[in-house]
Amino acid sequence: MTDILNKKAKFIFITGGVVSSLGKGLASASLASILQCRGFKVRLRKLDPYLNVDPGTMSPYQHGEVYVTDDGTEADLDLGHYERFSGVPAKRTDSITTGKIYQRVIDKERHGDYLGATIQVVPHVTNEIKDFILSDISDEDFVLCEIGGTVGDIEGQPYLEAIRQIAYDLGRERAMFIHVTLLPYIPTAGELKTKPTQHSVKKLQEYGIQPDMLLCRSCCEIPQNEKRKIALFCNIREENVITALDASSIYQVPLAYSHEGMDAQVCKHFGIDNSQPADLSKWQHIVDVLAHPEGTVHIAVVGKYVQLLEAYKSLGEALTHGGIANKYKVKVKWVDSEDVEKDGAAAHLHDVSAVLVPGGFGQRGTNGKIMAIEYAREHNVPFLAICFGMQMAVIETMRHLAGVQNAGTTEFSPDCEPVVGLMTEWDKDGAKQIRHKDGDLGGTMRLGAYECCLSPDSKVAQIYGSQKISERHRHRYEVNLAYEKVLNENGMVVVGKSPDGKLPEIIERPDHPWFIGVQFHPELKSKPFAPHPLFVSFVAAAIKQSRLL
């Protein structure tokens, strides 16, 4: 506590009310970015009240994509929004869950650290949450902490108590509460309704939290008299009732919020001079390119979680960024790999200019992915494979070109020709990591940033403009280098390896216009202002291909 008193960081807590899925993550990321546009240094944190230690073991259908940080944390996908909008790399200390908090509390209790005390939610759990929020802060001007879930959730209560206490400890001049709500439009009445927002704020007040600002999601403009009503009933300044209209692109949101005066009002809350507007030119540029593309290119993503696009959040964004760099709109055709199995690849892929097979787990739908890869290879369609996709691309070459029908991955069965196998040992920053077949599943994959060395004469070295790169990983299985020679003989070259040469990280087919597979997740590092080179090049290849269609 005394440590934080010596630092300048101001804390902004973002809560949500009325319903879930209001886009609190995007709201937090957007506010952080417009504060940066005023010259401030920001940090973003996510507090997830669920009991899992991290989302790593959750189904993508439950929680969407699992985002991975450089330092190897499996985290909520909102951290992806944070990084994309702010450019600040998220860290282990930026993502907390109730599972992690309880793990720490119980570890301390077992260790005897509480000196015989009875362990309680208040103060022991709440203190742990406070310590987390206040830890690992350097010279940031603002730390934005988003509380997952909706006000009123049982799991969220200790978090609300913890942030209430922080505001009490630091003083309101160093803390601000922003509450994101929904104003539903009732067509029969022709009105936006404010009652759910009033109730949600009342709930927050029950926990001792008086919001300083409301961010009201709405499908249409909020009439001034309604804003006045909300302000009066919720005890908030009228100019701090901010409209958050539905936007056609997430990249319009920072401009829209700033236009509504959000950053100016945040500065005012903290007594910071706000007479100079934020310099939003970089966002304006992105929005202009998105609004006036030189053309549209169609790219298929063949995966098995396509019913829930949240599962491919960063991927969709990275493709958009590749489009921005090429001044093109990328229209993604999300193809269910099981449909490819049923209908054949051509039925789904004949009208696209490039094919991408993303990461994944488990056997369902893999034959469809392999059929899509075969189609892209044979028809010279630009092809990018990510993680599981790369493993499938290797299996495709082994089965269809090297004639090894039984080629497979031990992820599905021990009885295949193990072209892809479980990684049991690898090097992490000079220390050996060891895994066993029956070990825990949580947090035990090869996670986070690893260096990779590229062959000087490869296409990827040209694309990256470097022979040494660092990319983020999340996998348990790895292509078996014992098959490198056979792959080579069949046109597939391993062009990227771990620095010790033991793990293959990138493959390409020199006989194909654009066929690259990577064991890592390049989509996690792409940003609108710094599109990932692989996506820039892939989209450029797709545009070239579209001229042939």
Interface contacts to ligand GLN, rule CB under 6 A = 359-361, 387-388, 411, 474-477
User: Strand 446-454 to strand 468-475: parallel, antiparallel, or no bridges (unpaired)?
Assistant: antiparallel
- The span from the CA of 481 to the CA of 503, in Å, is 7
| Smallest gap from residue 529 Cβ to ligand GLN (A) | 26
Q: In the sheet where 175-182 sits, what is the strand order?
A: 95-97, 42-48, 142-147, 10-16, 175-182, 213-218, 241-245
Q: Which residue is nearest to ligand GLN (CB)?
A: 359
Which of 195, 502 has the CB closer to ligand GLN? 502
Cα–Cα dist 200/209, whole Å: 11
Nearer to ligand GLN, 381 or 386 (CB): 386
Q: Residue 276 or 444: which CB sits closer to ligand GLN?
A: 444
- CB-side exposure of 242: number of CA atoms within 13 Å? 26
Q: Burial of 369 by CB count in 10 Å (0-12 exposed, 13-18 middle, 19+ buried)?
A: buried
Nearer of residues 24 and 497 to ligand GLN, judged by Cβ: 497
Q: Min. distance of Cβ 377 from ligand GLN in angstroms? A: 20
State the residue for tokens 């997830």. 48
For residue 387, indicate whether it is catalytic.
yes
**253 contacts: CB under 8 Å, gap ≥ 6:** 26, 27, 30, 244, 247
Q: How far is the CB of 477 from ligand GLN (least distance, A)?
A: 3
Helix, coil or strand: residue 89: coil
* One-letter identity of residue 42: V
Looking at the Cβ atoms of 377 and 475, the one nearer to ligand GLN is 475
Catalytic residue among 387, 416, 452, 453, which?
Answer: 387
- 64 or 158: whose CB is closer to ligand GLN? 64
* Closest CB 521 distance from ligand GLN, rounded Å: 7
In the complex, the smallest distance separating the C-beta of residue 498 from ligand GLN, rounded to whole angstroms, is 15
Question: Computed from CA positions of residues 306, 308, 311, 316, in that sequence, does the dihedral angle turn out positive or negative?
Answer: positive
Q: Which is catalytic among the residues 63, 473, 523, 532?
A: 523
CB of 474 to ligand GLN, least distance (A): 5
- Catalytic residue (one of 63, 512, 521, 532): 521
Active site residue 523: yes
Q: How far is the CB of 505 from ligand GLN (least distance, A)?
A: 12
Counting every residue written for the chain, the total comes to 549
Query: Based on CB atoms, which residue is closest to ligand GLN, 29 or 387?
Result: 387
Are the beta carbons of 338 and 366 closer than 8 angstroms?
Answer: no
Closer residue to ligand GLN in complex, CB, 323/421: 421
Look at the block and give the residue holding tokens 């392999």: 370
Cβ atoms of 11 and 137 closer than 8 Å: no
**Which residues are registered as beta bridge partners of 215?**
180, 242
Q: Which residues of 305-321 are buried (b: 16+ CB within 10 A; e: fewer)?
A: bbeebebbbbbbbbbbb
CB of 439 to ligand GLN, least distance (A): 13
The C-alpha atoms of residue 162 and residue 169 are separated, in whole angstroms, by: 10
* Contact (Cβ atoms closer than 8 angstroms) between residue 513 and residue 354: no
- 122: three-class secondary structure by DSSP: helix
Give catalytic residues, as residue numbers.
387, 521, 523
